[in-house]
Structure 1
Amino acid sequence: MQRILLAEDDNIMRPYLQQALERGGYEVVAVDKGTEAVPLLENEFFDLLLSDIVMPEMDGIELAQYCSEVSPRTKVMFITGFAAVSLRASREAPHANILSKPFHLKDLTSQVGKILHEAALMRV
């Protein structure tokens, strides 16, 4: 089963996203800030880091950059509601996919599935 590390600080959105991804057949570990994700990335393997960009303590871009250092095989996808932040993410984490809020859960699971399918093909 493919594993996703979800970093989302919104207490309403996080369980909603987690449930949708679990229904899609993924194992999901959810945290409410980037600093909580750090030890998980250091000690476990995740196929995908799905992170909000704007979070307290450590934003999603910093988290993605750290992820690329400690777990380079982990793919990264951002979710954000801020267009300007999307542009910054594209510059600072160019290999990450970005999904802008608001989005439909079908769009999320479709995008995640595409990313993970492509990653699996590259490993074969």
Structure 2
Amino acid sequence: YEVQVLDNNDNKTYVNGQVASVYKQHIPLAMAAMPSGEWNTYDIFYRAPDFDAAGNKVKSGTITVIHNGVLVQDHVEIKGTTPYIGWPKNPSHGKGPIRLQDHGDNSRVSYRNIWVREL
């Protein structure tokens, strides 16, 4: 599941791929990005989906995102995976890694002060 973290000020992109969107699923309620070159903050509250013994999804996961102090995703349903191409899928899973990425295009990407806390 992917929440977009990018410099949207100098980077035109499609609405459901812009900063603070749930990639290809939910556009943000507001544009709260700081000017290019300034730090942005994200508070992300994730609730995992539930699966039955056969691996079928019985309850969708949800995400709430506060971007720079502004509520931009309000307990939205995660429809499934967030692939670049194709529809969301819902394979059964447990806990997984948190990944931070860039696109390898020589843009400077930095992260700091990351906290992960189980709810």
TM-score computed with the length of structure 1 as normaliser: 0.25
Larger Rg: 2
Answer 1 or 2: which has greater helix percent. 1
